[in-house]
Structure 1
Amino acid sequence: MTDAKPQGAPAADADAVLPELRRLRDSIDNIDAALVHLLAERFKCTQQVGHLKARHSLPPADPAREAAQIARLRSLAEAARLDPDFAEKFLAFIVREVIRHHEAIAQEAGGD
């Protein structure tokens, strides 16, 4: 990221805002790093779920669980003042990836 002065802002105003801009961007960078680590931990758990499902011949997807998670996440998003539609799209993206992993694990287990 660059610390270029905001376009259209007088130089003195831009100089005054740069420290605050840097502080906010540092916080965003820290949050992004935390999100990556949280997602990594989540996928470690879902990989274990995938192996458990494969061992017990359970399907990779669980529509009832997914529906409950969507409702739960939408409620959490509303409470956090985050757009629930965005939260649902985000979860749907993650769930699709998890199911893809579970399908691959099930195929590997079936090929033994």
Structure 2
Amino acid sequence: MSAPPTGATDTATPGDAAVRAELSRLRDSIDNIDAAVVHMLAERFKCTQRVGRLKADHKLPPADPAREARQIARLRELAESAKLDPGFAEKLLNFIIAEVIRHHEQIADDVVANGGGTP
């Protein structure tokens, strides 16, 4: 079964006002959670940018495979206890880690390009 086309809306019979109201309430909750996730990711990336700068200033490598492995194991455990698919949680963290490493590499390149000064 395929998903409805983008922009399609759910339709309920005219007597299903309660269904539409519940659907709206649930979607409002989802929208709020999505906003919180975005804000949490923004805060996380602010911290990882500072880590990247510290690593660049001290000529440390952008990636830390041992820490990444510990974080993945930790997140998988958290996911299991939260009844979330650990495989999904791992994929999400791997995506975030890849982006963090990309940022760290860019910061290191900027530090080198600026002769070690603040980019």
Task: Name the TM-score, length of structure 1 as normaliser.
Answer: 0.91
Which SS does the other structure have where 1:11 is aligned?
coil
Q: 1:95 aligns with which of 97, 101, 117?
A: 97
Three-state SS of the structure 2 residue aligned to 1:60 is coil
Q: Which residue of 1 aligns with 2:14?
A: 11
Cα deviation, 1:10-58, whole Å, max 9, x if unaligned, reads 432x322011001000000000000000000000000000000000000
Partner of 1:59, secondary structure, is: coil
Pairing of 1:73-92 with structure 2 (within 5 A): 73-92=75-94
Give me the whole-angstrom Cα distance separating, in 1, the residues matched to 2:22 and 2:9. Answer: 11
Aligned-pair Cα RMSD in Å? 1.5
What pairs with 1:1-112 in structure 2 (closer than 5 Å)?
4-6=10-12, 10-12=13-15, 14-112=16-114
Q: Deviations over 1:63-90 (max 9, x none)?
A: 0000000000000000000000000000
> What's the CA shift for 1:5?
1.8
In structure 1, the residue matched to 2:3 is none
Would you identify which runs of 4 or more consecutive aligned residues in structure 1 move more than 6 Å? Answer: none
Gaps of 5+ in 1: none
- Distance in 2, matches of 1:95 and 1:87, equals 12
**Residues 30 and 39 of structure 1, relative CA distance in 2, 3 Å threshold:** same
Task: Quote the offset at 1:2 in angstroms.
Answer: 7.3
**Per residue, is there more helix in 1 or in 2?**
1
User: Which consecutive residues of structure 2, in runs of 5 or more, have no partner in the other structure?
Assistant: 1-6, 115-119
Aligned length: 108
